[in-house]
Amino acid sequence: MGNAHKAAANVNAATDTTPGAGGSPLSSPTTPHEQPPRSTIWGVAGAIAWRGVHTYVRRPELSIPSLVFPLIFLASFAGGLSALGSVPGFDFPAGYTAFQFVFVLLQASMFSGLFTGFTIAFDFESGFARRLMLAAGNRRGVALGYALVALTRATITLTVVTGVALLAGMQITGDGVDMFGLYGLAALLVLVGFGWAAGVAFRFRTIQAGPLMQTPVFLILFLAPVFVPLPLLRGWIHAVASVNPATAFLDSGRGLISGVHNHTALAYVCAVALICVFTLWTLRGLRAAERAG
């Protein structure tokens, strides 16, 4: 049994109060020289990730909406707005489907992180997260474990979305390295979305904080050049989109899929900076949750 499975067993045992359920985590079978897996950050993270992914796969009411929403966006934007590809001044080498695919990909990435924030909030409401904090030797592993859940969820969603887009005839004019860069950016945005949502979830510890997790991300994404490139936007939205970091993400992603790089370095720098900020936000939230008991 690997460390993650051992730690999962410990966490489950610690949280299961039924008679004969396996006893206390203190009675976990470890030798005096072996550090209990639940006390290492990766042991705790692995246990939480295993449980989170297991729950996600086993419960269609969790997995289906996170798969269906990006597909609806892709169908609605790439299918319903394809005429925008012939607007004067619109010149994107890979076509309108690829143009919108990048938005859907990056949006789905951030929302995979957000939905994991919902899971944390739900776990606090049900009392599971509090028991988990008692059982975990290293509580930073709790946050890390949920981050791994977010990345795994995103991997499933992005695979499905990419498959559907390719079946719908999406063109990719970038090369393999460009695509690696695109999915690397998507992975960073999963962590950005997760960092924000986890910080909120640890502070409020209720699912009612859901709108606070979603609404700012939703607004930031839609205040970027979603439907047409930045030069075709007019008025206030052009001014807002020009300073919105989501514009750099979209420009970079579209540049990578088409092979015509645009703001790639800026997007990566913004994403890494946001991850640093939201890591602090999450860890401080975790401390707030610890103080709350």
Partner 1 sequence: MSPSLITQVGALAQRSVLKTLRQPFQMFPIIFFPAILLIINASGLHAATLLPGFPTHSYVSFAIAVAFIQGAMFSLINTGTNLAEDIETGFFNRLALTPLRRVSLIAGLLVGVAALGAMQSAVYILLGVVVGAHLDAGLGGALVVIVLGSLTALAFSSFGCVAALRTGSSEAVQGLFPLFFVFIFLSSSNLPRSLLKTPWFHTVATWNPISYLIEGFRSLYIFGWDKTALLRGFGVAIGLLVLGLLAVQWAMRTRLQRT
Q: Which residues contact 213 (CB under 8 A, 6 or more apart)?
A: 114, 117, 118, 196, 197, 200, 201
Q: Which among 196, 200, 203, 189 is positioned nearest to 154, based on CA atoms?
A: 189
Residues 66-95 contacting partner 1, CB under 8 A: 68-69, 72-73, 75-76, 78-84, 86-90
Q: Which is nearer to partner 1, 81 or 156 (CB)?
A: 81
Could you give the angle at the alpha carbon of 106 between the alpha carbons of 163 and 143, nearest 5°?
105
**Interaction of residue 288 with partner 1, rule CB under 8 A:** no
Rule CB under 8 A: which of 228-247 touch partner 1? 228, 232-237
Smallest gap, in angstroms, from Cβ of residue 291 to partner 1? 28
* Complex with partner 1: residue 122 or 268, whichever CB lies closer: 122
Residues 88-127 contacting partner 1, CB under 8 A = 88-90
CA–CA separation, 215 and 117 (whole Å)? 13
Among the listed residues 92, 183, 227, 268, the single contact to partner 1 using CB under 8 A = 227
Alpha-carbon radius of gyration of the chain: 21
Closest to partner 1 by CB, 227 vs 268, is 227
Please select the residue that binds partner 1; options are 209, 226, 248, 286, rule is CB under 8 A.
226
C-beta of 237 vs 283, nearer to partner 1: 237
133 vs 160, which CB is nearer to partner 1? 160
Q: Given CA atoms 282, 225, 229, 232 in this order, what sign does their dihedral have?
A: negative
Spatial distance between the Cα atoms of 290 and 256, rounded to a whole number of angstroms: 42
Task: Answer yes or no whether residue 32 interacts with partner 1 by CB under 8 A.
Answer: no
- Give the relative orientation of helices 210-222 and 96-126 as an angle to the nearest 10 degrees: 170
Tell me the backbone φ, ψ of residue 59, rounded to 5 degrees: -115, 100
- Is 219 one of the binding residues for partner 1 (CB under 8 A)? yes
**Per CB under 8 A, does 19 bind partner 1?**
no
CB of 41 to partner 1, least distance (A): 35
Task: Pick the closer one to partner 1 by CB: 139 or 153.
Answer: 153
Name the one range near partner 1 by CB under 8 A: 24-32, 120-128, 194-202, 217-225: 217-225
Asked if 161 contacts 92 with a C-beta cutoff of 8 angstroms, the reply is no
Burial class (CB in 10 A: 0-12, 13-18, 19+), 196: buried
**Residue 276 identity (one-letter amino acid):** C
**Which residues of this protein are in contact with partner 1, per CB under 8 A?**
61, 65, 68-69, 72-73, 75-76, 78-84, 86-90, 219, 222-223, 225-228, 232-237
